[in-house]
Structure 1
Amino acid sequence: MTLAQDIQPQTAPRTGGAERIIAYFKERMILGEMKVGERLPPERELAQHLGVGRPLLREVIRSLSMLGLLDVRQGSGTYVGRADLGVLSDFFTFCLSQEQDILDDVMQSRIAIEVQAIRLACARANERDLARIGQWLARLIETLDDPDAGGAADFAFHQAMVKASHSRSLITLYGALSELLRRSHVERRRTTYDRREVVGDLVEAHREVFLSIVAKDADAAEARLREHFAIGDELRRRSLIETYRKGTGPG
């Protein structure tokens, strides 16, 4: 059934007009009835079908087009677009940034994504994926004395690992958290870069994670990754203790 064939008069449900329009697009995208590149029905028919005014419909369509979900072409019509992950990531970052102590919560989400991603990477990673992860490991080692570049390389290593899972869902979710995760990596490096024994442990942990993926050993890879996260938790704990001992804690 095409989108045009789907347009039938209906009784408007008891929801706001904008919510009804968004629900219409969301449901059809989930069901696969709206495919990228497909042209939407004429505005008049769509507005009548949804029981909303054309000005409101245009406003919602304009908002969805800003996210890349719809593609408005002057003189041609409106088409189903492909969402811009960068825009969605920015929006997601804005929403999360309004929450208190969000980085700890984001860290838990990161663990959940990476643990599954690394298991998939052990089965799906190709030579190009392994080369990319290895390159970021090398870059991580080269930038031990540079918190900003080192933190960025650390993040890129983990991002490359997630991409090696070839799971579009995990990659999309990780991408939505990317800005917060990148900042987290840099901030951690700034608190630990001058402690060589700590940095050395982190380098070895990354190396073991990489070698486990190369060996295609999912159980070992997950274990090494969890050990790596445990090291990070210990570093944050030590940093918090030292901060309060110096009298620079909150309050």
Structure 2
Amino acid sequence: MSAGFAPVQKSNLADDLADRLVQLIRARGYQPGDRLPSIMEMARSFGVGHPTLREALKKLESMGVVEIRHGAGVYVGSGHNRLLVSNPVFGGEVSKKLLLDLVEARIPIETTAVTLAATAATEEHLDRMAALLARAEANMDNDAVLSEANMAFHREIAVASGNLVLAQIQEVLTQLFSREQRVILGIYGSREKDHREHLGILDALRRRDAGLAEERMKTHLEGVRDVLLRWDPEKNPLPA
């Protein structure tokens, strides 16, 4: 099974590995339901660590490209022929303007996604969102876990929208400069307020109220933009 794998440079992002996995699935003619090689074998063949591979597989699972069956392995999903958008690699300086542009881009994308999700989300989607917010609430003092849960909440909304392109763009945008945004929100933001707004968005989704969900998402993201506007890069520079 190792033939057809090519080593991936360790400097690449998990998104690059996700793209290589999709290429492998297509090249080998895997069909939905086919079992992929074990995680150990794929990690060894691609020359990456298990955490990097699992991150790539998690991304593909959210897109329906693979299905991870715990204790049984990784299987090709029904979305194996779908478009895959990789995260861009940015090597320049992360400026206030760039972060504001990112939030401005998120507003129309995420308000559209949450509007669609109000109708399209299944109970399983909503339950996963609730579990993510419960995890966030239990880790309000743990920046890494809190940020991961919050990002996953936003991604789950995009997945629940049923719009593949929105879901993949959302995957890119939530990952882009996530560390820098976490630092700034930690200085100027309120994690309690952020959490209450997330709960409000979930409440609107459970009500199937598209207008309310859109309004609450827009208010939430405009609040993130306001936090970034208050950021003074000279007084609080981002860590190297």
TM superposition score category, shorter chain reference: 0.5 to 0.7
- 2:219 paired with 1:227: yes
TM-score (norm 2): 0.59
Q: Deviations over 1:150-179 (max 9, x none)?
A: 111111111111111011111122223342
**Using a 3 Å threshold, how does the CA distance of structure 1 residues 171 and 104 change in structure 2: closer, same or farther?**
same
Match of 2:205 among 209, 213, 218: 213
TM-score (norm 1): 0.57
List runs of 5+ in structure 1 lacking aligned partners: 1-64, 74-80
Query: Which residue pairs with 1:174 in the alignment?
Result: 170
Query: Which residue pairs with 1:26 in the alignment?
Result: none
**Using a 3 Å threshold, how does the CA distance of structure 1 residues 111 and 133 change in structure 2: closer, same or farther?**
same
Q: Deviations over 1:52-95 (max 9, x none)?
A: xxxxxxxxxxxxx958458556xxxxxxx84683xx424xx21x
**Matched-pair contact (CA < 8 Å) for 2:184–2:231:** no
**Matched-pair contact (CA < 8 Å) for 1:126–1:164:** yes
> How much identity, in percent, do the aligned residues show?
25
**Using a 3 Å threshold, how does the CA distance of structure 1 residues 129 and 184 change in structure 2: closer, same or farther?**
farther
- 2:170 paired with 1:156: no
* Mapping 1:74-113, distance limit 5 Å: 82=81, 85=84, 88-90=85-87, 93-94=88-89, 96-98=90-92, 101=95, 102-113=98-109
Question: Higher relative CO (CA 8 A, sep ≥ 6), structure 1 or 2?
Answer: 2
> RMSD between aligned alpha carbons?
2.9
**How many pairs align?**
166
Larger of the two Rg values belongs to structure: 1
Query: Which residue pairs with 2:11 in the alignment?
Result: none
**Matched-pair contact (CA < 8 Å) for 1:125–1:165:** yes
List runs of 5+ in structure 2 lacking aligned partners: 1-18, 29-79
**Using a 3 Å threshold, how does the CA distance of structure 1 residues 72 and 191 change in structure 2: closer, same or farther?**
same
CA distance in 1, matches of 2:94, 2:137: 33
Q: CA deviation at 1:140?
A: 1.4
CA distance in 1, matches of 2:236, 2:174: 29
What amino acid is the match of 1:201? K
What amino acid is the match of 1:187? V
